[in-house]
Structure 1
Amino acid sequence: MTGSDIMRQIEIKRQTNETAVYINLGLDGTGKNKIDTKIGFFNHMLTLLSAHGLIDLVVECTGDIEVDGHHTVEDVGIVLGDAFHEAIGDKKGINRYATFYVPMDETLARASLDISGRPFLIFDAGELAPMIGAFDTQLAEEFFRAFAVHAGITLHLQILYGKNSHHKIEALFKALGHALRHAVEMDPRVKGIPSSKGVL
């Protein structure tokens, strides 16, 4: 069966001594979501990723945030990446590539990706304030890396210019959502795997 023959939706759980993560992801949705990671700013970012990517998304995570947010943020990235990888299926008929720019006030962000099966992350957000609310801004890169590796995508995220750390990270999540939305869309002109090699 091809991606056009099935509902690209997946439910997945992962439990370790540090976190318990549950995700329900639908690639062909409307952006409805329910997010609870116990980290307010991170909840907000995942809500934006869902809304702008038109990805239906439920995320529930209980983690050792009394230590810090690292395990929660990274493990959500891992499970979200795993869910994306399973939901995308055989990749037949998808656009595969996408690049999207998002302006947010003084900030301009770019996300460029390839659903390639070759995980890689380039992350360049410039200087960031140490914290946004209870969110350690170093964890943004950790989330994106975990997601890219487990989703099997090549992902380039860059802030072209900007000053406000909230704006920078928010613009990156929005740009990623839009890029994912376009990359996973089916194009009826694409016959089979979108690669000259015939495999991804």
Structure 2
Amino acid sequence: MAPQVGDLEGSRVFRPCWSSLLSVCGVKGRSPKARSAFAASPSSRDAGNGATVTSPGARAAATFAPSFEAPRIGEVERITKETSVQVRLDLDGSGVADCNTGIPFLDHMLDQIASHGLFDLTVKASGDIHIDDHHTNEDVALAIGTALLKALGDRKGIYRFGNFSAPLDEAAVNVILDLSGRPHLAYDLRIPTERVGTYDTQLVEHFFQSLVNTSGMTLHIQQMAGKNSHHIIEATFKAFARALRQATECDPRRQGAVPSSKGILSRS
């Protein structure tokens, strides 16, 4: 599959061009932060005549590996008469998931969000699943959306938009999202069965609607192909994870500015 716009990890085909450009340009034109990273690089060395020699790889790392100054972590505890949910979300994690909701299929989907988004996600939930999975599914999504809202903070320096298409065998799903502060869900999945295991497939839409409501996200989900219910849903969660990863990553050209012509991205 071709690299997506904004998907830096999948853009290896462009890296030789970056290295060539950097070898020509050197340090000139860099931001103060990039120049500091260049100077502090262990791969830099004194050439003996007052000049600094740095490998192309080190120069690329100094320029194309920006990061956020503060940890972007959201923690939420949501307790009602129906459920008890604790969520911890680290947007700059490594894909570690520790999810136990009492709903095995939902746990499997949350693992996809962590793994493919490279988020560290912990979810601990207990609820009235002796009735059905509805309340727990909803409250887990509400808590994850709130944790995302907290982790994003003022949303300075992020790409903001994400767009990713994920296949899983015969299924293919496209997810487009905007961390705009305006909650909206456009959902177009045609899941052929009422259940996957014990999980009610109607709850997929309800999960994303709940997450959208608390995070302030515009989210479009479109099924392009698929016959197997499990494949369609899993492709959706994988595409969502990758699109969210794109949107939350640091845009080096923003230099910490809010990605909006209004100068602010607000939940309200």
TM-score (norm: length of structure 2): 0.73
Structure 1's consecutive aligned runs of 4 or more residues displaced over 4 angstroms after TM superposition are: none
SS, match of residue 110 in structure 1: strand
CA distance in 2, matches of 1:63, 1:183: 32
| Unmatched tracts of structure 1, length 5 or more | none
Q: Determine what percentage of the aligned residue pairs are the same residue.
A: 47
Aligned to 2:199: 135
SS, match of residue 163 in structure 1: coil
Superposition pairs for residues 21-170 of structure 1, below 5 Å?
A: 21-170=85-234
User: What is the root-mean-square deviation of aligned Cα atoms in Å?
Assistant: 1.0
Aligned to 1:198: 263
| Unmatched tracts of structure 2, length 5 or more | 1-66
Q: Report which of the two structures shows the higher radius of gyration computed on alpha carbons.
A: 2
- Between 1:119-128 and 1:54-63, the stretch displaced more is 119-128
CA distance in 2, matches of 1:182, 1:188: 13
Higher relative contact order (CA 8 A, sep 6+): 1
The amino acid that maps onto 1:86 is K
Q: CA contact under 8 A between 1:95 and 1:187: conserved in structure 2? A: yes
Q: CA contact under 8 A between 1:128 and 1:137: conserved in structure 2? A: no
CA distance in 2, matches of 1:36, 1:141: 20
Q: CA contact under 8 A between 1:102 and 1:108: conserved in structure 2? A: yes
User: Shift of residue 197 of structure 1?
Assistant: 1.4
Aligned to 1:183: 247
CA distance in 2, matches of 1:140, 1:86: 23
CA distance in 1, matches of 2:102, 2:74: 23
Aligned length in residues:
198
CA distance in 1, matches of 2:74, 2:113: 17
CA distance in 1, matches of 2:192, 2:101: 22
Are 2:242 and 1:174 equivalent residues in the alignment? no
SS, match of residue 174 in structure 2: strand
User: Shift of residue 134 of structure 1?
Assistant: 1.2
Residue deviations 1:158-186, cap 9 Å, x none?
A: 11111000000000000000001110001
